[in-house]
Amino acid sequence: MGIANVNKSAATAGPASTYKAALIMVTTLFFMWGFLTCLNDILVPHLKSIFDLNYAEVMLVQFAFFSAYFFFSIPSGKVIDWIGYKKTMVGGLFIMGLGALLFIPAASVPSFPLFLAALIVLATGITALQVSANPYVAVLGPSKTASSRLNLTQAFNSLGTTLAPYFGSLLILSSAPKGMGEVRQMSGQVLHAYRLHEASSVKLPYLGLGLALIALGVVIAGFKLPSIPEAEYRGGVESAGPAKSVWKHRHLVLGAVGIFVYVGAEVSIGSFLVNYFSQPDIGNISVQVAARYVTFYWLGAMIGRFIGSAILQKVQTGKVLGTAAIVACLLVCVSMLTSGHVAMGSILLVGLFNSVMFPSIFTLGIAELGPLTGDGSGVLVMAIVGGAIIPVLEGAMADRMGIQHAFILPAICYLYIVYYAFMGSRPETV
């Protein structure tokens, strides 16, 4: 992996003004992948309706998307070793642009497997950005403020996730889908025409996003990002000395599990909100209106990351993470045990406390790894595959016991994060 010890200072890389300009530019990448990731929450109810899928089947959207993190994070790290951070970011943007453009032929058929293929390509590009941008931000300045700095950039990632449901509801869920009973009574030709019409709503948004991503790639290619000697691969020099395995660091391995369950819980909740709010005993609203409520879930995450960026400069990361996980678990339980506005409000508030979890687990997981920091970062990024597996499990549970009761799964995930924050994140000498 082409990243080094984030515990070192990057003071030799250049003036503070250069750092600031680079941080602003890289932050745009956090925004874009947040926006595109959250559009999946709109695709889930849309494709469920078009292709008459059950919850477990439609969760293949998230499975296809987040599986890319598992398969392509280590290769992305090797690409960084080969061509560096900047070119990897540019390549990731171009791949994302291609994935977005592939939604057009998928909608023209229309074909659910082609949509999944387009999502895999899109997520492959995002994986390259995650592997390169997260540790790059961590070393782009003093090590003592790495967690705060990563929370700040993740706040702009949350800005993207906040805006995506609103625009998705306007552009993708613009027409009211027919009921499943009516759809199942259509003849083959009529059904194909209906699916073609409904699927066409994704063409314009993803065409615009694809072109914007390619244009951003061109801009980044022309921007001079500062090189950071401590973050560059040096042909194995960093690993000189006694051979050590990254898997011997207990706090890293437990942190990978933490990333796995956190991303799984966050994605599971976000994916089901539209269908959850449209249920008669919860919100009793249309899917279009419900999609706009999802904005508040991600808005909470954005606000929380700005607040968390300030708090983490004064309060220990483990304490902030543990407190946030406790409250998130309690809020999920409240939503499970109530109905109406209380159930809606409590599950939306989970987003606020999700906010600090990813950057906090990430920085705790790579703490004190020394020359193994790069490998540790790769392990943590791979663990984002939790967003592929846990939503599918919750989908299967929702098919059997309903969405509301299926929320027990993310509640359990938050309990693990509480354990990691207060106990499992302590580095041990190996």
Indicate whether 255 belongs to any domain: yes
Tens-digit pLDDT profile for residues 41-53: 889 888 998 888 9
Residue 214 sits in a domain whose CATH number is 1.20.1250.20
How far apart CA 252 and CA 373 sit, in angstroms, is 10
CA distance 206 to 38: 13
First to last CA, the chain: 21
- In angstroms, rounded to a whole number, what is the distance separating the alpha carbons of residues 59 and 48? 9
Of 61-75, 146-160, 203-217, 375-389, which range is least confident? 146-160
Name the CA radius of gyration of the chain, rounded: 21
In a domain, 368, yes or no: yes
368-381 exposure pattern, b = at least 16 Cβ within 10 A, e = fewer: bbeebbbbbbbbbb
Q: How far apart are CA 118 and CA 149, in angstroms?
A: 32
In terms of Cα–Cα distance, which of 126, 124, 114, 153 is closest to 137? 153
Q: Encode pLDDT of 315-339 as tens digits.
A: 888 999 999 999 999 999 999 999 9
Residue 171 included in any domain: yes
User: What pLDDT, in 10s, does the model give residues 261-316?
Assistant: 999 999 999 999 999 999 999 999 988 889 889 889 989 988 998 898 888 888 88
Count of domains forming the chain: 1
Helix (H) or strand (E) holding 389, with range, is helix 386-401
Q: What percent of the chain shows pLDDT beyond 90?
A: 48
Residue 238 lies inside a defined structural domain of this protein: no
Q: What is the percentage of the chain residues whose pLDDT exceeds 70?
A: 85
Per-residue model confidence (pLDDT) at position 7: 43
DSSP 365: H
Residues 6+ apart with CB under 8 A from 194: 178, 183, 186
The pLDDT score that the predictor gives to residue 429 is: 54
| 349-402: pLDDT as tens digits | 999 999 999 989 988 998 887 767 667 777 888 899 999 999 999 999 999 999
Question: Would you state the pLDDT for residue 397?
Answer: 96
Mean pLDDT, range 95-116, rounded to an integer: 96
Phi, psi (rounded to 5 degrees) for 58: -70, -20
The answer to whether residue 266 is domain-embedded is: yes
Q: Is residue 301 part of a domain?
A: yes
Domain, as residue range, for 63: 11-231+245-424
Query: How far apart are alpha carbons 110 and 402 in whole angstroms?
Result: 29
